[in-house]
């Protein structure tokens, strides 16, 4: 059973920092792209950042220069370092991974349960 478990969310003041982690567990043959999404109340889920197995990254414009996505391939873990946080960064943050479970012939996308990030003074 493949699982993605996030941690690191919480309450922070504007200008503060948080680091999110997402560990993939279970029997896995390969992980392709990993990413972070977020969903604010009443809003659609939106892409925040992605990282390939080779380390290539993409970011949504509003977080460029403030957020950094990274991954530890041997640990099957992806991170999101969030600096200079703003009120509008408040959301539930979800990680996802496009991966191939052991013994399977195809890749599929899996999601974590989400972690709340609240930026408030």
pLDDT tens for each residue of 28-62: 999 999 999 999 999 999 999 999 999 999 999 99
pLDDT for 114: 96
- pLDDT tens-digit profile of 61-98? 999 999 999 999 999 999 999 999 999 999 999 999 99
pLDDT for 16: 98
Which residues are CB-neighbours of 1 under 8 A, at least 6 positions away?
Answer: 26
Average pLDDT over residues 5-19: 97
Strand ranges of the sheet holding 3-7, from the earlier edge strand across to the other edge: 3-7, 18-25, 77-82, 67-72
Residue in the block written with tokens 């709340």: 116
């Amino acid at each position: 059973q493949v699982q993605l478990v996030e941690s690191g969310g919480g309450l922070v003041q504007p200008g503060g920092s948080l680091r999110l982690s997402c560990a993939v567990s279970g029997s896995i043959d390969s992980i392709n792209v990993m990413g972070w999404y977020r969903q604010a109340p009443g809003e659609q889920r939106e892409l925040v950042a992605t990282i390939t197995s080779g380390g290539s990254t993409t970011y949504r414009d509003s977080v460029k220069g403030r957020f950094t996505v990274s991954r530890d391939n041997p640990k099957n873990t992806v991170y999101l370092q969030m600096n200079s946080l703003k009120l509008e960064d408040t959301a539930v943050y979800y990680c996802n991974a496009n991966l191939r479970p052991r013994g399977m012939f195809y890749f599929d996308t899996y999601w974590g349960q989400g972690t709340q990030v609240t930026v408030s003074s």
